[in-house]
Structure 1
Amino acid sequence: MTPTPRARLISRLTVGSVIAVVAVGLAGCATPSAPAAVPDGITAELRQGRFDVEARQLVVHVENGSPSPVAIDGLVVTAPVFVAPLEHDEPFKLSVGQGIDIRIDLPDPQCGSGEDEPLVDLRGGSGDEAFDGSVAPTDPFGTLERIGATDCLTASVDAVAAITLPEHLRTTGDGAAQRAWIDVVITPEPTGDASFVVDVVHGTTLLGAEDGPEWPLGLEVAAGGEPITVPLAVRPARCDAHAIADDKRGTILPFEITTGDGLTGRIDRSSDDALQADLYDYVTERCGLGTAPVE
Structure 2
Amino acid sequence: MRRLVVLLLLATALTSCGGDDTVDVPKGVTVRLEQVRQDLQNRKFSVQVVNHGTTSITVEKARLESGRLPKAAVYTGPAVIEPGTEVNLTTEMPPARCGRGLDATVRLTYSVDDGKTVESTVKPTDHFGSVGRFMKRDCAARTLGKLVIDDRLTVRGKGKNATISVGFTVTPPAKGDPVHLVRVDGSTLLAPESDAATTIDRTTEPGGEPLHAEVTFIPNRCDVHVVAEDRTGGIVPLRLESKAFGSSPIYLRFKEPQKAQIFDYLAERCGFGKVQDPLNAP
TM-score, normalised to structure 2, is 0.76
Q: Structure 2 counterpart of 1:181, which letter?
A: S
CA deviation vs aligned residue, 1:214-257 (integer Å, no higher than 9, x gap): 62221122244443432223222333333423433234221111
Does the Cα contact within 8 Å between 1:35 and 1:130 map onto a contact in 2?
no
Q: Does 1:167 align with 2:146?
A: no
Q: SS of 1:164's equivalent?
A: strand
- Cα pair 1:202 1:214 within 8 Å, conserved: no
Q: Say whether 1:218 aligns with 2:201.
A: yes
Q: Which runs of 5 or more structure 1 residues have no equivalent in the other structure? A: 1-30
Task: Give the partner amino acid of 1:184.
Answer: F
Instruction: Summarize the alignment of residues 208-287 of structure 1 with structure 2, pairs less than 5 Å apart.
Output: 208-212=191-195, 215-259=198-242, 261=244, 263-287=246-270
- Structure 2: distance between partners of 1:216 and 1:83: 34
Give the partner amino acid of 2:254. Answer: S
Structure 1 residues 83-121: Cα deviation after superposition (integer angstroms, max 9, x where no partner): 4333334333444444422112112313235785x4322
Give, in angstroms, the shift of residue 47 of structure 1: 1.1
User: How far 1:198 moved relative to its partner?
Assistant: 0.8
Residue in structure 2 matched with residue 12 of structure 1 by the alignment: none
For residues 44 and 218 of structure 1, do their structure 2 counterparts lie closer, same or farther at Cα, with a shift above 3 Å needed? same
Cα distance in 2 for partners of 1:241, 1:92 equals 37
Q: What is the match of residue 31 of structure 2?
A: 44
- Contact (CA 8 Å) 1:78, 1:85: kept in 2 or not? yes
Count of aligned residue pairs for this structure pair: 255
Query: 1:86 aligned to 2:73?
Result: yes
Which of 48, 56, 71 is the equivalent residue of 2:58? 71
Shift of 1:157: 0.9
Residue of structure 2 equivalent to 1:23: none
Larger radius of gyration: 1
Measured against aligned partners, the alpha-carbon deviations of 1:135-169 in whole angstroms (never above 9, x if no partner) come to: 343333112321221111111112xxx22222222
Runs of at least 5 residues in structure 2 that lack an aligned partner in the other structure: 1-16, 276-282
Q: Within 5 A, what are the aligned runs for 1:108-123?
A: 108-113=95-100, 116=103, 118-123=104-109
Please give the alpha-carbon distance, in whole angstroms, between the structure 1 residues aligned to 2:195 and 2:66: 41
Match of 2:181 among 190, 193, 198: 198
Match of 1:132 among 87, 95, 119: 119
* Amino acid of the structure 1 residue aligned with 2:109: R
CA distance in 1, matches of 2:195, 2:74: 45
**Which residue does the alignment assign to 1:186?**
170
Quote the Cα distance in structure 1 between the aligned partners of 2:172 and 2:117.
55
User: In 2, are the aligned partners of 1:200 and 1:214 still within 8 Å (CA)?
Assistant: no
What is the RMSD of the two structures over their aligned residues, measured on CA atoms? 3.0
Structure 1 residue 176 corresponds to structure 2 residue 163: no
The reply to whether residue 106 of structure 1 matches residue 90 of structure 2 is no
